[in-house]
Amino acid sequence: METSNRLAAETSPYLRQHAHNPVDWYPWGEEALAVARRENRPLLLSVGYSACHWCHVMAHESFEDAETARLMNESFVNVKVDREERPDLDQLYQGVVQLMGRGGGWPLTVFLTPDLAPFYGGTYFPPTDRHGLPAFRKLLRALADAYRSRPEEVRAQAEQFTTGLRHLSTWGLEAAPGNFTPEDVRTAGLALAEDLDRVRGGFGSAPKFPNPMNVALLLRATRRGGPAELRDGALFSLERMALGGIYDQLGGGFHRYSVDAAWRVPHFEKMLYDNAQLLHLYAEAQLIEGRPLWRSVAEGTVGWLEREMRAPSGAFYATQDADSEGEEGRFFTWTVEDFRRVLGQPLADLAGLHFGATLDGNFEHGRNVLEVQVPAAQLAARLDEAPEEVERQLAEVRARLFAARESRVRPGRDDKVLAGWNGLLIRGLAAASRAFLRPDWAELAARAASAVLSAQWRDGRLERLLGKPTEEGFLEDYGDLAAGLVTLAQATLDASWLEPARALVDAAVERFWDEGAGAYRTAVHGRVALPVPTYALHDNAFPSGASTLTEAQVSLAALTGQARYLDQALRYLRRMRQAMLNNPFGYGHLWLAADAALDGAADVLLVGTRAEVDGLRRAVDATWAPTVALAQVEPGRVPAVLAGLAEGRERVGGQGTAYLCRDFSCAPPVTDASALVALLQAVGQPTAKPR
Residue 531's domain is classified under what CATH number?
1.50.10.10
pLDDT of residue 431: 98
Give the CATH number, domain containing residue 160.
3.40.30.10
Same domain, 103 and 249: no
DSSP per-residue codes, 199-254: TT-SBSSSSB---HHHHHHHHHHHHTT--HHHHHHHHHHHHHHHHSTTB-TTT-SB
* Boundary residue ending a domain (575, 598, 621): 598
Sequence-ordered strand ranges (E) for 314-460 = 319-320, 323-324, 327-328, 413-414, 457-458
Q: Which residues pair with 449 in a beta bridge?
A: none
Whether residue 313 sits in one domain with residue 193: yes
The CA-atom distances, in angstroms, between 464 and each of 123, 125, 421, 498 are 26, 31, 9, 20
Same structural domain, 423 and 555: yes
Q: Domain ends where: 115, 144, 169?
A: 169
User: Which domain covers residue 371, as residue numbers?
Assistant: 332-407
Strand partners, 78: 25, 44
Q: Are 476 and 364 contained in the same domain?
A: no
Please indicate, yes or no, if residue 156 is contained in any of the structural domains: yes
d(Cα 176, Cα 183) in Å, to the nearest integer? 19
H helix or E strand, kind and range, residue 509 = helix 498-512
| Per-residue pLDDT at 549 | 98
Q: 312 and 197, same structural domain?
A: yes
Q: Are residues 486 and 594 both part of a single domain?
A: yes
Report the predicted TM-score, pTM, of the whole model to 2 decimal places: 0.96
pLDDT, residue 471, reads: 82
Is residue 690, in this structure, part of any structural domain at all? Answer: no
Bridge partner list, 323: 328
- Rounded to whole angstroms, the Cα distance separating 285 from 186 reads 19
User: How many domains, the chain?
Assistant: 4
Q: Say if residues 488 and 443 touch (Cβ distance below 8 Å).
A: no
What is the H or E stretch that residue 520 is in?
strand 519-520
Rounded distance, CA 216 to CA 231, Å? 9
Tell whether 176 is covered by a domain.
no
Of residues 84, 114, 684, 685, the one with CA closest to residue 421: 84
In this structure, are 472 and 578 located in the same domain?
A: yes
8 A C-beta contact, residue 539 and residue 592: no
Is residue 163 located within the same domain as residue 206?
no
Do 496 and 424 reside in the same domain of the chain? yes
Task: Classify residue 177: in a domain, yes or no.
Answer: no
- Judgement on whether residues 553 and 421 belong to the same structural domain of the protein: yes
Q: Are 84 and 49 in contact (CB under 8 A)?
A: yes
133-148 as b/e, with b when 16 or more CB fall inside 10 Å?
eebbbebbeebbebbe
Verify that 590 and 608 share a domain, yes or no. no
Alpha helix locations (H) across 414-473? 419-435, 439-456
Q: Where are the beta strands (DSSP E) in 297-455?
A: 319-320, 323-324, 327-328, 413-414
Query: Taking a C-beta distance cutoff of 8 angstroms, is the pair 322, 269 a contact?
Result: yes
Residue 687 lies in a domain: no
- Residue 280 in any domain: the answer is yes
Assigned domain for 1 exists: no
Asked if 120 and 28 sit in the same domain, the reply is yes
Mean pLDDT, 10 residues at a time, over the chain (691 residues)? 85 94 96 96 96 92 97 98 94 94 90 97 94 93 97 97 94 91 97 97 96 98 96 98 98 97 96 98 98 98 98 98 91 97 96 96 96 96 94 97 97 96 98 98 98 96 90 95 98 98 98 95 77 92 96 98 97 97 97 98 97 98 98 95 94 96 95 97 78 79
Is residue 328 helix, strand or coil?
strand
Tell me, yes or no, whether 510 lies in a domain: yes
Q: Which of 118, 147, 169 is the last residue of a domain?
A: 169
